């Protein structure tokens, strides 16, 4: 089951614009992030749930979609996600925020995929503009923005040869391909007595 969720959990960048994710689902997703691991159990992450058309548009205007697809202007109005979750870090804690945020975002995405939803993580966002639009407290650092919606993108994983190009790409039918390194290319050593 986890194998399937991980394979389905792609970065989706086109959504069914008519599908509006409910507040309660977004709260449930963040609740799963809340229960995830945290370095020294400091739990420095804070969240903003963006689920109004006006604020979703404001967040949309700050994020950068698919840097490897320079000819694509991003999802059209009717392909945009209804919702965003902004992941923030309380600056008064030491620097474990980023690892915690990675774990949290994966918990959120896997939970979303299980519900037939999906998302895209954004590190590329105009943080100054986002802070202003969402009135983010100075004590909170913007770590990631996560788009959530009902995906319509078709995404296929392909094999990446050792010297191949990591860039994702789309074919003429707009199917999105994501090259992944092979297992033998990323396990650099195995110390084992059970090589059955």
Burial 39-62 (b: 16+ CB within 10 A, else e): beeebbbbbbbbbeeebbebbbeb
φ, ψ of residue 46 in degrees (nearest 5): -130, 160
Minimal distance, residue 167 CB to ligand FMN, in Å: 8
Residue span binding ligand FMN (CB under 6 A) among the ranges 18-26, 40-48, 119-127, 186-194: 119-127
Is 98 a binding residue for ligand FMN by CB under 6 A? The answer is no
**Closest alpha carbon to 44 in 82, 76, 74, 88:** 88
Q: Give 64's Cβ-side CA count (13 Å radius).
A: 11
Of the candidates 16, 20, 65, 93, which one interacts with ligand FMN according to CB under 6 A?
65
Minimal distance, residue 63 CB to ligand FMN, in Å: 6
x/- track of binding to ligand FMN for residues 155-184 (CB under 6 A): x------------x---------x------
Whole-number Å distance between alpha carbons of 120 and 122: 6
Q: Give the footprint of ligand FMN on this chain (CB under 6 A).
A: 10-11, 64-66, 120-124, 155, 168, 178
């Amino acid at each position: 089951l986890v194998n399937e969720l991980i394979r389905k959990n792609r970065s989706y960048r086109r959504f069914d614009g008519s599908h509006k994710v409910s507040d309660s689902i977004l709260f449930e997703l963040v609740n799963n992030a809340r229960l995830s691991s945290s370095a020294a159990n400091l739990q420095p992450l804070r969240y903003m749930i963006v689920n109004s058309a006006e604020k979703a548009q404001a967040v949309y205007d700050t994020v950068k979609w698919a840097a490897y697809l320079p000819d694509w202007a991003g999802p059209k109005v009717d392909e945009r996600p209804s919702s965003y979750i902004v992941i923030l870090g309380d600056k008064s804690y030491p620097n474990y925020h980023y690892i915690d945020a990675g774990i949290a975002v994966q918990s959120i995405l896997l939970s979303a995929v299980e519900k037939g939803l999906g998302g895209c993580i954004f590190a590329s966002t105009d943080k100054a503009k986002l802070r202003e639009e969402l009135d983010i407290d100075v004590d909170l650092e913007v770590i990631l923005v996560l788009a959530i919606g009902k995906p319509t993108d078709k995404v296929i994983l392909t094999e990446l040869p050792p010297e191949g190009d990591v860039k994702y790409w789309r074919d003429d039918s707009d199917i999105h391909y994501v090259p992944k390194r092979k297992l033998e290319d990323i396990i650099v050593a195995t110390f084992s007595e059970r090589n059955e």
